[in-house]
Structure 1
Amino acid sequence: MSLDSLKSRIPDYAKDLKLNLGSVIGNSGLPAQQLWGTVLSTAIASRSAIVLRELEPEAKANLSPEAYTAAKAAAAVMAMNNVFYRTRHLLSDHEYGNLRAGLRMNVIGNPGVDKVDFEFWSFAVSAINGCGMCLDSTKQVLRKAGVERRSSRRRSDCRGTQAVAATLDAEAFS
């Protein structure tokens, strides 16, 4: 189970996805922790058992135990936050924006890895889950840490993972 195995499962009509996945993951030039933490957290966020089954072992092999746990934690906490904050944003009654979230988010303050890496993973998960408020929040943290736009887009690129997940899950029903 690996990136190559996942790419081999992509149908011919989605050849662009195969090429993009290879370039985003295979040729990223990122440090292993940033790359594989993003791969793992976005594989989880994609909700695709196929994608997670193929990419998780390789991610685990390339991450320290702390980074592996933190990437999974980023996917988990952002799944919760993305629903809450996206709902808050979408409601036309703006008074909901003043309500206390009341959610435990301790891992954000102490993820067990470099805070910038955790924020990249959170940004990528938030992009998949479509939470603009969370994207803005993580973007601000990254900017304060000195991360430039081009760098943060490259490091948190999740488009390949999500597109492959949607395609392979659709193929499973064909």
Structure 2
Amino acid sequence: MSETTEVIKELLESINVDGNYRTESLELLEKGESRYLRDFKVNFNSTLSSEHLSAKEIGLIGVSIAINNQNKPLLAYYTSFSEANGASAEEIAEAVACASLLASNNVFYRFRHFTQKEKYTQIPARIRMQIMMKPVTGKEFFELLSLAVSAVNGCEMCVNAHEDSLIKLGTTEERIFDAVRIASLITATGKVIY
């Protein structure tokens, strides 16, 4: 077994996927004996720890980003990781709900931002967002989830609004940065394992 195949097998098994499973992306990386796979494995493993986020929070970010990116293997992994680190069914459901709500918000507010037309800011959004008022995970963490999803979806207006809210809530920039870093690496993982 080549070193490349061994790295793929170890990574897949670490996320509870059969070591022989292959996506088109994995096949191409394996065939080309890509050195990237070592970085890929290290990057994925770095999503599992943080000096600024608890393991439960990391898992819930993983759930939200996996839902956002429609990634079944990563959703299963981060759901299990969340549960193993104390997340309740309600908290996991809220991470799912956040991804869904932010999908609509990110499209809508990105449209408003792109068009730069005053008229569109005067028309009511008519998007129900009651979950944001009293989140099970707490206001600060729901804002952090919202920021991470918004960063992945590329909504500048949403990223700025959620980051501003987090700073006003007393969240450190290191905590914000780590949430986005983890979201970016989960997204990168999903380009290869899906």
**Structure 2: runs of 5+ lacking an equivalent:** 1-11
Answer yes or no: is 1:17 the counterpart of 2:40: yes
CA contact (8 A) 1:67 1:113 kept: yes
Equivalent positions of 1:5-154 (< 5 A) are 5=15, 11=29, 13=34, 14-15=36-37, 16-25=39-48, 27-29=49-51, 30-62=53-85, 63-154=87-178
Question: What is the RMSD of the two structures over their aligned residues, measured on CA atoms?
Answer: 2.3
SS at match of 2:56: helix
Q: Answer with 1 or 2: which has the greater Rg.
A: 2
Alignment partner, residue 168 of structure 1: 193
AA at the equivalent of 2:74? V
TM-score by structure 2 length? 0.76
SS at match of 1:127: helix
* Greater mean deviation of Cα atoms: 40-49 or 56-65: 56-65
Counting matched residue pairs gives 167
Distance, in Å, in 1 between the alignment partners of 2:168 and 2:129 is 20
Distance, in Å, in 2 between the alignment partners of 1:3 and 1:143 is 38
Q: Between the two structures, name the one with larger relative contact order (CA 8 Å, sep ≥ 6).
A: 1
Task: Note closer, same or farther for the CA distance 1:47–1:89 as it changes in structure 2 (3 Å cut).
Answer: same
Name the structure where helix makes up a greater proportion of residues.
1
